[in-house]
């Protein structure tokens, strides 16, 4: 479970701004980390569906630069908490 969360955050770190581009970048980054493409697609879907457009774009921007922690720091606390809940749900759902 920890590996899925770490990989999910790593995938965020490599996504690009915008809808489809960010989503495919998340999948590609996750696959590059050695995970199954179906699981990675599931995580990307959960992120896209579970976060608001602004949060997704901010994470994608920071992720594209390879520094997910910096992008996470820019999020207000309530959005960090929402993102954490989305990631926990994705880890549970997608790891099957």
Read off the pLDDT of residues 75-94 as tens digits, 9 standing for 90 and up. 889 998 999 999 999 989 98
- Token couple for 82: 């929402």
CB-count burial class (<10 Å; 0-12, 13-18, 19+) for 25 = buried
More confident residue, 17 or 1: 1
- Residue 71 reports pLDDT greater than 60: yes
Domain that holds residue 29: 2-94
> Into how many domains does the chain fold?
1
pLDDT at residue 38, as a whole number: 93
Question: Is the full-model pTM beyond 0.85?
Answer: no
């Amino acid at each position: 479970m920890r590996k899925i969360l770490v990989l999910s955050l790593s995938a965020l770190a490599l996504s690009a701004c915008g809808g489809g581009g960010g989503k495919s970048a998340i999948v590609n980054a996750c696959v590059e980390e050695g995970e199954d493409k179906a699981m990675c697609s599931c995580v990307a879907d959960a992120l896209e569906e579970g976060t608001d457009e602004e949060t997704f774009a901010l994470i994608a921007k920071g992720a594209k630069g390879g520094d997910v922690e910096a992008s996470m720091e820019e999020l207000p606390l309530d959005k960090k908490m929402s993102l954490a809940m989305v990631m926990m749900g994705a880890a549970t759902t997608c790891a099957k």
